[in-house]
Amino acid sequence: KEAETQQKLANVVILATGGTIAGAGASAANSATYQAAKVGVDKLIAGVPELAELANVRGEQVMQIASESISNDDLLKLGKRVAELAESKDVDGIVITHGTDTLEETAYFLNLVEKTDKPIVVVGSMRPGTAMSADGMLNLYNAVAVASDKQSRGKGVLVTMNDEIQSGRDVSKSVNIKTEAFKSAWGPMGMVVEGKSYWFRLPAKRHTVNSEFDIKQISSLPQVDIAYGYGNVTDTAYKALAQNGAKALIHAGTGNGSVSSRVVPALQELRKNGVQIIRSSHVNQGGFVLRNAEQPDDKNDWVVAHDLNPQKARILAMVAMTKTQDSKELQRIFWEY
């Protein structure tokens, strides 16, 4: 009988990378002061015995770090392992446990490069497992529920935090400390409650199987950096980043992705020297940068990031530039993904 139920359940692999979901604090009152990336994947799984009712779960420790320290090489390593597992006949879904600081970047990266319609769910927590009202257990339970559900197929890389199913493309860490940290300007795709998914929307942008990018063809990512716009800003950071080898600069601009008159000449010069200039907005939610609004992008040969925040624009620019150095192609890609 037990063997029968095991056969009926989906096979889900949990790839652990660290973060607060694997964090530990000195006391149960430490919800914010703790060390991330302390608990191994087997202990994480053992901490939620109810996972066995949802799926046949096994774990792999891909890395054990706080997500602010994730490098491009780490992204490639994780992406390649996800692709290998997705190709395996006895894997139905993949869950990635991750620190929340750059979770949105990893989720978007995987959304762009994984050629599979099997569910890939990225999950984290805001409180370590040692804290009162820790959120990791339920977030992980929900992630495995969504990853083992056939309905989740073909919807792009997903993020399950705070009972919501979010699109890995749209979602962003918008609040810290609070468990309702992850928000999307376009709203969640669904909810997951008591292990059951309830869907309301589908993503309109290209992803996974419909993407022109494939992790198996990517061996390195170009250097793309971000510089911030603010009052009294100078062009120092932009010039320094380019001098240090950036192939593209994401302008984390004010408002509509506007650029200070003190910075414009340097960006025009850098573009002439081959560096791609991509205008985005650092407004907290719902940035929306349009071509030739605030700056003459056609004349300057710059690109706009549209609704992508600066850190997501960096991910797309890196992936796109593994294939093209043409600014018009780059802009097409920014409209489509």
Ligand X SMILES: NC(=O)CC[C@H](N)C(=O)O
So which residues are the catalytic ones? 20, 100
Q: Under the criterion CB under 6 A, does residue 227 sit at the interface with ligand X?
A: no
Residue in the block written with tokens 């096979």: 11
CB 261 within 8 A of CB 230: no
> Which of 59, 99, 229, 253 touches ligand X (CB under 6 A)?
99
Q: Which stretch binds ligand X (CB under 6 A): 12-20, 85-93, 194-202, 222-230?
A: 12-20
Residues of span 278-307 touching ligand X by CB under 6 A: none
Angle between helices 264-272 and 236-243 (to 10 degrees): 20
Angle between helices 310-320 and 327-336 (to 10 degrees): 120
Of 62 and 126, which CB lies nearer to ligand X in the complex structure? Answer: 126
Does residue 66 belong to the site contacting ligand X (CB under 6 A)?
yes
> Which distant-in-sequence residues (6+ apart) come within 8 Å of 84 by Cβ?
none
Report CA 166 to chain centroid distance, whole Å: 11
* Residue 78 near ligand X by CB under 6 A: no
**What kind and span of H or E run contains 160?**
strand 158-161
Q: Binding-site residue total for ligand X (CB under 6 A)?
A: 12
For residues 11 and 93, what is the distance between their CA atoms, to the nearest angstrom? 7
Binding ligand X by CB under 6 A: which of 86, 94, 101, 251?
101
Which three-class secondary structure state does DSSP give residue 1? coil
- Using CB under 6 A, which of 11, 31, 56, 67 touches ligand X? 67
Q: Is 124 in the site for ligand X (CB under 6 A)?
A: yes
Q: With beta carbons less than 8 A apart as the criterion, state whether 95 and 15 touch.
A: yes
Which residue's Cβ lies closest to ligand X? 99
Between 37 and 241, CB nearer to ligand X = 37
Compute the least distance from the CB of residue 34 to ligand X, in Å: 9
Where along the sequence are the contacts to ligand X (CB under 6 A)?
18-20, 36, 66-68, 99-101, 124, 126
